[in-house]
Chain A
Amino acid sequence: MVDKLKLRSDIPDNDKIKVRLFANLRELVGEREITITVPGSVTVSYLNNEILNKYPQLKSFSNKFVTSVNCKVTTGDTVITSSDEIALLPPVSGG
């Protein structure tokens, strides 16, 4: 247990990825922004899996959102770091 805590404190800040949530996803989670801790640079697919594990209430919506990186919609194999601005975007209905 002590070792596990020590290991956790060794994880640097820059491995924490902030993810913005909108509309129904924001309401389901109850937060505008969540933080996911990852082992260095990861892909969007990896991040999305981590999000769904941490917030299982989003699982039934997994095919009802896309992920944007720095305001661009991306594919799952895009590599991201903590300096990128990430957001989960449900289907849009403006106008």
Chain B
Amino acid sequence: MKLLFCRQSAGDEFLIRITTNHLSLQEVMRELEDDSAGALSIFMGNVRNRGRFGNVSEIYYEAYSEMAEEKMREIENEAQTKWAIKKLVAIHRIGNLKVGETSIIIGVSSEHRHEAFEACKYIINNVKTRVPIWKKEITDESQKWTDGILLE
């Protein structure tokens, strides 16, 4: 199953960045393969069992998908301008995720490790503050939207 690609009617393939599907690390790794890349840096964000409002059973993620895709592309372009990146994947899952499931994977390959580390960190930090995605923590007692950062 090909999760990372979305096929357009014209036959062009492009990377999707927001999905309701499970995220597959293997697929991301395959996407990052590049014989000239000596370094590969991956960041995965998982749902943890302790939240701001108690023991979490799951998290509901919601996105303004059109704008989120656009903002993620913008952040990826900035990273590509700042560092010599070979391949890059950034994908965020939305919907209901259980504890332990992966909500986001950022993957960067580059010739040497410095670029991959830095770009990966830059992308996740900026996705968290600039992309219109919201999360609601669901515990046994409550369902509450997490406080976040007002977009600029």
Contacts and interface: CB of A to CB of B under 8 A. Distances in A.
Contact of A93 (B104, B124, B135): B135
Nearest to B146: A93
B148 A20 contact: no
B151 interface: yes
B64 A89 contact: yes
Interface in A41-95: 64-66, 68, 71, 73, 85, 87, 89-95
Contact of B136 (A23, A64, A71, A95): A23
Contact of B45 (A71, A85, A95): A95
A35 interface: no
Interface in B99-144: 103-104, 124, 127-136
B152 A87 contact: no
Contact of A90 (B45, B61, B67, B134): B134
Nearest to A23: B134
B101 to A, nearest CB: 14
Given A87-B67, A92-B129, A95-B45, A64 B135 contact: no
A90 B149 contact: no
B104 A92 contact: no
Contacts of A14: none
22 contacts: A24-B145, A26-B62, A65-B150, A66-B151, A68-B67, A71-B64, A71-B66, A71-B67, A71-B70, A87-B132, A90-B148, A92-B150, A92-B151, A93-B133, A93-B134, A94-B61, A94-B63, A94-B134, A94-B135, A95-B45, A95-B92, A95-B133
Interface of A: 20, 22-24, 26, 64-66, 68, 71, 73, 85, 87, 89-95
Given A66-B151, A71-B67, A94-B128, 11 more contacts: A22-B132, A22-B134, A23-B62, A23-B134, A68-B67, A89-B64, A91-B149, A92-B133, A92-B134, A93-B147, A94-B132
